[in-house]
């Protein structure tokens, strides 16, 4: 039976049988780039967001204030440029620019990782800034009042709470990255979308190849979003907001027994 005689499902099966290996490899590349770049993007985002929310100390001299201002200006420019231009063009710009202007030939992996991380970082910077601003100012005052420095306050008190607040957005970014790595096909990265183009080009079965690839993309994103949700609820700890007490007289008033082994109730 030739491919033109098959029906829709037979064609999909045929693609899976003949190209399953390449699809799997493409999916693995996509996931690897998405995971690495979301992580690196978060690191960049936290660094940038931290600097953006730093206010100069009252007693700081003009030089320190000036430096901080210039650094903030550069970071703002970075965020605006990378948020404001298509990643596909950024990919072409960096990849081909590096080789033609500087004579540096970035490998497929390093180019892909640089482009997606820097792009994610630009989005994450704003997210982290929002996350930091969302933490109750009282938390900062409490930390300063026991003598913590600005840096200690941020690292031990504010950022952990900001991280929890922006977890949904980090998940969002991961899912966007899984899908958006497809623009890397412009610089020849062999990821899932590139594999789709090869298959459809070889077999002329666009509809079936697209269906298979879409299903794979969906499985990847759906799995990730479920895992992230599970991580979030783990970060929250016991979801019991009842007041804890060991005072038996208070049980009748709606307070529940505090279990000092689990740290939660019951």
Partner 1 sequence: MAGIIKVEHLAKTFGTNEVLKDIDFSVSSGDVISIIGSSGSGKSTLLRCINLLEEATSGKILFHDKDVLAGAINEDEYRTKVGMVFQSFNLFNNLSVLDNCMIGQVKVLKRGKEEAEKNAMEYLAKVGMAQYIKAKPRQLSGGQKQRVAIARALAMNPEVLLFDEPTSALDPEMVGEVLDVMKILAESGMTMLVVTHEMAFARDVSNRVIYMADGRIEEEGSPEDIFSNPRSPKTKEFLSRFRGEKE
Binding site residues, partner 1, CB under 8 A: 58-59, 136, 138-139, 141-149, 152, 156-157, 160-161, 164, 237-238, 240-246, 255, 258, 260, 262-265
Least distance CB 216 / partner 1 (angstroms): 38
- The three-state DSSP-derived secondary structure of 194-240 is HHHHHHHHHHCCHHHHHHHHHHHHHHHHHHHHHHHHHHHHHHHCCCC
- For residue 190, the surrounding DSSP H or E stretch is none
Least distance CB 170 / partner 1 (angstroms): 17
**Alpha carbons within 13 A on the beta-carbon side of 75:** 23
Counting every residue written for the chain, the total comes to 266
Least distance CB 63 / partner 1 (angstroms): 18
- 52 vs 245, which CB is nearer to partner 1? 245
Least distance CB 178 / partner 1 (angstroms): 29
- 115 vs 143, which CB is nearer to partner 1? 143
- 223 vs 246, which CB is nearer to partner 1? 246
Cα Rg, the chain, nearest whole Å: 25
Least distance CB 38 / partner 1 (angstroms): 22
Q: Which residues pair with 233 in a beta bridge?
A: none
- 5 vs 260, which CB is nearer to partner 1? 260
- Distance from C-alpha of 46 to C-alpha of 121, rounded to nearest angstrom: 8
Q: Which residues pair with 245 in a beta bridge?
A: 257
- 142 vs 188, which CB is nearer to partner 1? 142
- 34 vs 135, which CB is nearer to partner 1? 135
Q: Which residues pair with 99 in a beta bridge?
A: none
CB 122 within 8 A of CB 82: yes
- 110 vs 259, which CB is nearer to partner 1? 259
Least distance CB 234 / partner 1 (angstroms): 14
- For residue 71, the surrounding DSSP H or E stretch is helix 62-84
Would you give the DSSP letter of residue 50? Answer: H
- Distance from C-alpha of 85 to C-alpha of 81, rounded to nearest angstrom: 6
Least distance CB 72 / partner 1 (angstroms): 23
- Output the six-digit token pair for 10: 């037979």
């Amino acid at each position: 039976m030739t491919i033109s005689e098959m029906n829709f499902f037979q064609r999909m099966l045929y693609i899976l049988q003949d190209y399953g290996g390449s699809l799997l490899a493409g999916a693995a590349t996509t996931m690897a780039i998405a995971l690495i770049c979301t992580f690196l993007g978060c690191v960049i985002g936290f660094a940038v967001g931290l600097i953006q929310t730093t206010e100069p100390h009252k007693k700081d001299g003009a030089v320190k204030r000036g430096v901080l201002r210039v650094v903030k200006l550069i970071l703002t420019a970075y965020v605006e440029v990378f948020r404001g231009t298509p990643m596909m063009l950024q990919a072409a710009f960096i990849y081909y620019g590096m080789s033609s202007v500087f004579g540096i030939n970035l490998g497929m992996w390093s180019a892909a990782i640089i482009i997606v991380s820097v792009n994610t970082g630009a989005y994450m910077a704003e997210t982290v800034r929002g996350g930091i601003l969302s933490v109750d100012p009282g938390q900062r005052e409490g930390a300063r009042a026991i003598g913590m420095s600005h840096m200690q306050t941020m690292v031990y008190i504010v950022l952990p709470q900001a991280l929890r607040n922006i977890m949904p957005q980090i998940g969002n970014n991961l899912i966007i990255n899984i899908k958006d790595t497809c623009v890397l096909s412009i610089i020849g990265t062999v990821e899932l979308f590139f594999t789709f183009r090869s298959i459809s080009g070889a077999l002329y079965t666009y509809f079936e190849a697209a269906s298979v690839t879409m299903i794979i993309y969906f499985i990847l994103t759906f799995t990730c979003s479920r895992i992230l949700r599970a991580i979030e609820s783990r970060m929250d700890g016991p979801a019991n907001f009842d007041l804890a007490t060991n005072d038996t007289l208070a049980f009748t008033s709606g307070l529940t027994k505090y279990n000092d082994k689990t740290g939660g109730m019951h």
